[in-house]
Chains A and B, each alone.
Chain A
Amino acid sequence: AQTVTQSQPEMSVQEAETVTLSCTYDTSENNYYLFWYKQPPSRQMILVIRQEAYKQQNATENRFSVNFQKAAKSFSLKISDSQLGDTAMYFCAFMTSGSRLTFGEGTQLTVNP
């Protein structure tokens, strides 16, 4: 069974600064996908970024980038130039074939003005 661990229940950052959210996972699979989802107070799940395990290059989406370390089974999210609208719960998630998503416990990020 796959497990996803987010060891930071809460994080805070000042507006315009950079923050990194941690995520580790455990699997015996070789082909899989990793995701970061954002859940703002509206509770809508929003895809932030996606990484295919077979790709060595770290995914980036504007201010969001990941540090994917496959051997270490680590998948951290870096948010640059943090904005107030980034305040949300962030979930790391793992997916193998069949599209079953396993979520981490979540990290509540607060961006302070």
Chain B
Amino acid sequence: GAVVSQHPSRVICKSGTSVKIECRSLDFQATTMFWYRQFPKQSLMLMATSNEGSKATYEQGVEKDKFLINHASLTLSTLTVTSAHPEDSSFYICSAREMDRSNEKLFFGSGTQLSVL
């Protein structure tokens, strides 16, 4: 099956710094990628939808200047957490949409645990 690579898997940073997370579709072209956030023992919350070559669509309550999303190619989307603070500590997961002939499929990355000190 299709593989989505996400890295880093874990990152620890100081408050005020920026962190970039990459999400790559390895063997298919992903016109759309999604970014989710998951707090411990909670569900996945959609943060934004990223379409190749256009601006991301953010969910209500998600600060677009805080969470910068770039989808410059059909195989790569990045999420940059700018000026990170301890409350941004969370598990971030990406997913990529593959369109095949019959239906669409979503594949998930392995996630990134962000810890802001």
Q: How far is the CB of B2 from chain A (nearest CB, A)?
A: 11
In the complex, chain B residues whose CB is within 8 Å of the CB of A95:
106
Can you add 7 more A-B contacts, CB < 8 Å, to A43-B110, A98-B49, A99-B104? A43-B91, A45-B93, A45-B95, A91-B44, A98-B32, A99-B106, A101-B106
Whether the pair A100, B49 counts as a contact (CB closer than 8 A) is: yes
CB < 8 Å: which of A44, A99, A104 contacts B43?
A104
B: residues with CB less than 8 A from A are 32, 34, 38, 41-46, 49, 91, 93, 95, 97, 103-104, 106, 108, 110-111
Whether the pair A101, B43 counts as a contact (CB closer than 8 A) is: no
Q: How far is the CB of B39 from chain A (nearest CB, A)?
A: 12
In the complex, chain A residues whose CB is within 8 Å of the CB of B108:
44-45
The 5 closest A-B pairs by CB, nearest first: A45-B108, A103-B43, A99-B97, A103-B44, A43-B111
